[in-house]
Amino acid sequence: MQKRQDALNSLEMVCRWARHPRCVGLARVELRKALAAWGLAKIEDTALVVLSELVTNAVRHAHVSPGREIETRFLVVGDDLRIEVHDAADGWPHKHVATNSSECGRGLVLVSVLADQWGVSERGGVGKSVWALMAVPPQDGDS
């Protein structure tokens, strides 16, 4: 894992991960630390579920050459927490219509319910960024 926190912008955290199932839990630990440091524990549970779904999709579906990593980026933009998961695969994710008996295919449906917005963007070079925005609740005492 490679981690960078920009000293000029303490509300951003970028980590890189090998494409392995254990990186989902490791990414959750880093997001939990960032949210605690930023005073955003109120949205921790929801943010962790959103992150888990996005990273799991990258691990399962981003079939790329060895050495390509998954990047997670957590940042506060205005009044929103932005969670990004970058991978080097060209295929873009899409929501599936899951039935009651489906064992998979509900991840992006869940993200669309929990996040205020989500989408997919091109990035410099190969691959894509899948992102979700979640409103940051006002701090106690804010009007």
Residue extents of the structural domains in the chain: 2-93+103-135
- Binned at pLDDT 50, 70 and 90, residue 140 comes out as low
Contact call for residues 83 and 74 (beta carbons, < 8 A): yes
Q: pTM score > 0.85 for this model?
A: no
Q: Give me the pLDDT at residue 61, please.
A: 83
- Comparing 88 with 35, the larger pLDDT belongs to 35
- Binned at pLDDT 50, 70 and 90, residue 137 comes out as confident
Of all residues in the chain, the percent with pLDDT exceeding 70 is 80
- Comparing 65 with 24, the larger pLDDT belongs to 24
- The hierarchical CATH code for the domain 2-93+103-135 is 3.30.565.10
Closest CA to 89 of 112, 48, 57, 117: 57
